[in-house]
Structure 1
Amino acid sequence: MARGVYIHIPFCHQICNYCDFNKVFFKNQPVDEYIEAVGKEIEMSVRKAPEQFQDIETIFLGGGTPTALSAEQIARLLHHINTLLPTKQLVEFSSEANPDELSADKLEALIHGGVNRLSMGVQSFDQKLLEKIGRTHSNEHVFETIKQAKKVGFENISIDLMYGLPGQSMEQWEDTLEKALELDLPHYSAYSLIVEPKTIFYIQYAKGKLNLPTEDLEADMYDLLMRRMEEKEKKQYEISNFAIEGHRSTHNKIYWDNDEYAGFGAGAHGYLMGNRYSNHGPIKKYIETIKNNEQPILHRHEVTNEEKCEEQMFLGLRKNEGVLFNEFESKLGISMKELYGKEIAKLVKEELLIEDDKGVRLSRKGRFVGNEIFQQFLLGE
């Protein structure tokens, strides 16, 4: 049964150099037709299996850029969502946003449509770095948009930051953190740059033209991030996420808990009834499939018990609370210690994991090498 719903809006007015998500330039795209297709996909899915959606806790609008839509288009999309899904019971209704696109009328459309959390892609407060990564907003856009968002009634606001960017110095990162924390928001996310295939940065990297920070500098940036957040009482609850009490991301926790969620839209991914699936990515193909009254699913994979165990570990270990013994066994029907006893003992000895009577979690040292630790729990390795 779905705990959450993800809805993908693949349109952008500017393509960022690091982004590998399914997206297209907004201009000359069938945006209105796409919104209707998303509505129809939701309607078909709910009609087919209404029990899957009766207890949803969260909805997340991602992209692409949901705020690339006009206020009228946002209102239309939210009308479909509120008509077709049980949104009155939601704990959280989030939308991603770009600071230079969130006009007053779009903010009004979002909040009147039920959205109660904004996740803004700020990435840096250094203008030269913003230009280097393909972002178009200014610091003034960020400050003014947050001011306007609070004015219309948004209290739950998060911003995304990035470190390990090409040419980024520790001084630039420290300045970004200082400016971000001066905003005193309830939630912050901060991610290190990953150079993904099919991105502009990947092409530059392959040509040897991407001046990335060293691994040691990137580790120092992460260390500074954790220290600054702790000083400002923004509690770390996941490798890359920090919040004050009551403002943790409920939707993202669904992913880290390895629970089920529905995905709608072109290129969206979902996990329902033990199956992970992904939709057709090309806009035209997605719309055509919907018009033919067919589910737009391109790939479907039934997750094996072995894969469920692996995912429970490497997703759950992202959380500060880690993976609990009783939850692992009740969900998967096998003892974590029986399955992973040797790996856990080895990582505890290396001071990368902490084990207590409740479960296992990353140590502070372990957070710096999380991906290497996660690989230890791949059963096929």
Structure 2
Amino acid sequence: MQLKRVVVTGLGALTPIGNTLQEYWDGLVNGKSGAAPITYYDTEKHKTKFACEVKNFNVEDFIDKKEVRRLDKFAQYAIVASDEAIKDAGITLENVNKYRVGVIWGAGIGGLQTFQDEVMNYAAGDGTPRFNPFFIPKMIADIAPGHISMRNGFMGPNYTTVSACASSANALVDAFNYIRLGMCDVIVSGGSEAAVTIAGMGGFNSMQALSTRNESPETASRPFDATRDGFVLGEGAGALVLEEYEHAIARGAKIYCEVGGGGLSSDAYHLTAPHPEGIGVIAVMENCLRDAGMKPEDVDHINTHGTSTPLGDVAELKAIKAVFGDHAKNININSTKSMTGHLLGAAGAIEAIASILAMQNGIVPPTINHTTVDENIDPSLNLTLNKAQKREIKVAMSNTFGFGGHNACVLFKKFEN
């Protein structure tokens, strides 16, 4: 069977450093930090008092007020980002077969704010089970692609991938496979998350996963730095329109890049900690390269998972050295989480977008906030520290990993007709 080529024809972003695709890219290349004190609730009794919130966002500028009441914030973010990507791609029901357009979306948690509010309201009452009739439809993780499909009339495959922080990268791999197998012409893919809540922050704090650098939030996300003390929670959404190459050409679509391959693996090691030698990460990158039919020396840029945790950053860089050998020092490696924080289930999507825009613009965004060398990290690696670097990129990889040992890797190639 001859596999179809898959290209990216639309992008959309709603992030802590920019509410549109262009704002997001500007924030990335300028090394903008999205971390700031939390505004959503009183943090007085919380260990961590800051996060990477979406800022200056009024959902009613995009979605009808009546509809907003039926949507958890993670679904609101999904709609806004996907609207931008679909418009960017020029997809309409007039130029596609709606039965061959799908939506495959990633969310690690889903409607956490809705769940928290409903349970707390019940606990504050007299024990009578009074719940909002939209409680379940607002909360469930699969509802975001449902809304995207209903809003646009797309009637192809429609579901959510849930693999913790690898969720949206998993969604991209699934979308890629559906199209190259000839089952769809177009798939809107990506992910969204809105877990900056009392429950979300409290839960991650109890695991000692979050940075507690309350005196300097903007510098708290510091991947690869010796003084890193945990990740910074972020929120938002990223959307990509993946399309079969011939279909895109036939309708005269703008093409950002080609999707070269995708890889998946499991650590099979621990609920939350990575294998110290990065065995699962080695496997996922090797799987991705094999799927793309490429050699390690073909890769120019890797957007790492790079969460700013003591164990995870070292394990991932060890894995990169194991896979790429001497070529590793020639790769521009970065972590855009240093700016956006960790968007959990949406991380893979916004970081895939960052990789694509880096390739298109010939600029690798920096890993900001690096001040202290970690003796456990090979100094020959180019971690793109503190300042963006110009670089021709023909092949870029994006790594995303999740609690439970879920690993996903997506490879993008510069488009050649």
- Tell whether the structures are fold-level matches, with TM greater than 0.5: no
TM-score of the superposition, structure 1-length normalised? 0.29
Bigger share in helix = 1
